Amino acid sequence: MRLIKKIMLGLLIILILIQFIQPIRNNGSMISSTDLTKTMHVPENVQSILKIACYDCHSNNTNYPWYSRVQPFGWLLAKHIRNGKTEINFNEFGSYSLRRQISKLSGIAKSIEKETMPLSSYKLLHKNARLSEEDKTLLIGWATRTKDSLSMNH
Amino acid sequence: MLFIAVTMIFTSCGNNSGSSNESITKTNDSSSQSKNSNISETKSSTAISDVVSHYLHLKNALTNDNGNDAASAAKELGSTLTKVDESTLTPEQKKVYDDLKDDIKEHAEHIGANGSNIEHQREHFDLLSKDMIDFVKATGSSTTLYRDFCPMYNNKKGAYWLSETKEIKNPYYGSEMLKCGVVKEEIKPKG
């Protein structure tokens, strides 16, 4: 019994200590000149879906939930954001080569179609990010049309 | 002088009857290509042909449904790409290369990281192949290559790939539909 108590106490102390290790927050400049919406025409309804469901991990500005202050959840979030931004950063979309923009748009359409994005762990806590069938059709349609028009001008 | 013999073969997948062949031969003058054969250019063109051979290795791995082999070929492709000396490229080639390199690198990384998910590797291979076709057209190939087409991939929108053999071996479906596809173009080596 005493051993279990000691272990529990040890875990509690670790849990308290890790709260002091807060990851750097992803809050860059508000809207950069290379943002997707500054680079090409994006319909309002598509913009709002992207901002609600994608920008938290795929831009330089995250709208943080309260639990991001609680570790280890904050670390997990920071890791998702880091990976998300490497995959695609909507704030920097304009700086990608045309070829890469086309690839990214095709990736957006595919990942939404196959429901690999938004991540299910993200959707669990963000009701807004659970895309309806209409939202999906809208996004896929937009990404595909934009991709095709970029490819034609290439 | 670079001669590109374009051979269009109109056949459809799973339909062996009634194939009509039509040959078109195009001649492209590429006098803009540097004829200097200094050491750095030789190195760079070796890197360019290495990029192509790693791509072909990747393609063959996908044909054999071997995701891990595809991953290692893609990693080599990515690291060879950094060895291409841009200063040896003509301005036109450099323009194409600048547009392509980040995209090629990224697709190679994704394929390299998804050894256990061959379907995902093939999605990136589709986009990578588009890049590689333009890459080879800009830099020229040191060996004969075939631009092949699979009409079924991508919800029947189709997808291209490059091959070193005239015989069709489909990298998008592997053993499932190995013979599916047609040769769209024969790319002759430069020189």
Instruction: Tell me which of A132-136, A149-153, B135-139 is least confident.
Output: A149-153
- Interface contact flag, A99 B123, Cβ < 8 Å: no
- pLDDT score at B168: 92
Per-residue exposure over B138-152, b if at least 16 CB sit within 10 Å of its own CB, e if not: bbbbbeebbbbbbbb
Q: How far apart are CA A123 and CA A147, in angstroms?
A: 26
Contacts of B130 (CB under 8 A, 6+ apart): B160
Chain B contact for A99 (CB, 8 A cutoff): yes
Whether pTM > 0.80 for this model: the answer is no
A5 CA: distance to closest CA in chain B (Å): 43
DSSP string, chain B: -EEEEEEEEEEETTEEEEEEEEEEEEEE--TTS-----HHHHHHHHHHHHHHHHHHHHHHHHHTT-HHHHHHHHHHHHHHHTT--GGGS-HHHHHHHHHHHHHHHHHHHHHHH-TT-HHHHHHHHHHHHHHHHHHHHHH--SS-EEEEEESSHHHHT-EEEEESSSS---TTTGGGGTT--EEEEEEPPP-
* Average confidence score pLDDT of chain B: 79
Q: How far apart are CA A147 and CA A142, in angstroms?
A: 8
Chain B contact for A153 (CB, 8 A cutoff): no
- Interface contact flag, B103 A106, Cβ < 8 Å: no
- pLDDT score at B42: 55
Number of domains in chain A: 1
Residue range A73-86, pLDDT digits in tens = 888 889 889 999 99
- pLDDT score at A30: 65
Assess if residue A2 is contained within a domain: no
Please identify which residue in the block is written with the tokens 């991709």.
Answer: A147
Radius of gyration of chain B (CA): 17
The answer to whether B124 and B77 have CB atoms below 8 angstroms apart is: no
Chain B contact for A106 (CB, 8 A cutoff): yes
* Both tokens assigned to A96: 């990608």
Residue type, B117: N
Q: Please state whether the peptide bond connecting residue A23 to the residue before it is cis, i.e. omega within 30 degrees of 0.
A: no
- Whether B4 has a pLDDT exceeding 60, the answer reads no
Residue range B16-58, pLDDT digits in tens = 433 344 333 344 444 444 444 444 455 557 788 888 999 999 9
Residue A38 structural domain: 24-153
Per-residue exposure over A45-73, b if at least 16 CB sit within 10 Å of its own CB, e if not: ebeebbbbbbbbbbbbbbeeeeebeebee
Residue range B115-146, pLDDT digits in tens = 999 999 999 999 999 999 999 988 888 889 99
Other residues' Cβ atoms within 10 Å of the Cβ of residue B109:
16
Assess if residue A69 is contained within a domain: yes
Assess if residue A12 is contained within a domain: no
Please report, for chain B, the start and end positions of each structural domain, with discontinuous segments joined by +.
2-187
At residue A61, the 3 state secondary structure works out as strand
- Interface contact flag, B127 A98, Cβ < 8 Å: no
- Whether B15 has a pLDDT exceeding 50, the answer reads no
Instruction: Tell me which of A127-136, B16-25, B42-51, B99-108 is least confident.
Output: B16-25
Assess if residue A73 is contained within a domain: yes
* Both tokens assigned to A67: 């639990």
Please identify which residue in the block is written with the tokens 């998702």.
Answer: A80
Residue range A55-107, pLDDT digits in tens = 889 998 888 888 888 888 888 889 889 999 999 999 999 889 888 999 999 99
Q: How far apart are CA B131 and CA A154, in angstroms?
A: 12
Q: How far apart are CA B62 and CA B126, in angstroms?
A: 11
Assess if residue A114 is contained within a domain: yes
Assess if residue A112 is contained within a domain: yes
* Average confidence score pLDDT of chain A: 87
Chain A contact for B96 (CB, 8 A cutoff): no
Chain A contact for B106 (CB, 8 A cutoff): yes
Chain B contact for A103 (CB, 8 A cutoff): yes
Assess if residue A132 is contained within a domain: yes
At residue A27, the 3 state secondary structure works out as strand
B-chain CB neighbours of A106 within 8 Å are 127
- Interface contact flag, A103 B106, Cβ < 8 Å: yes
Assess if residue A18 is contained within a domain: no
Average pLDDT over residues B152-172: 91
Average pLDDT over residues A7-30: 84
A-chain CB neighbours of B102 within 8 Å are 96-97, 99-100
Nearest CA in chain B to A151: B130
What does each C-alpha distance from A100 to A144, B139, B159 come to in angstroms? Answer: 14, 20, 18
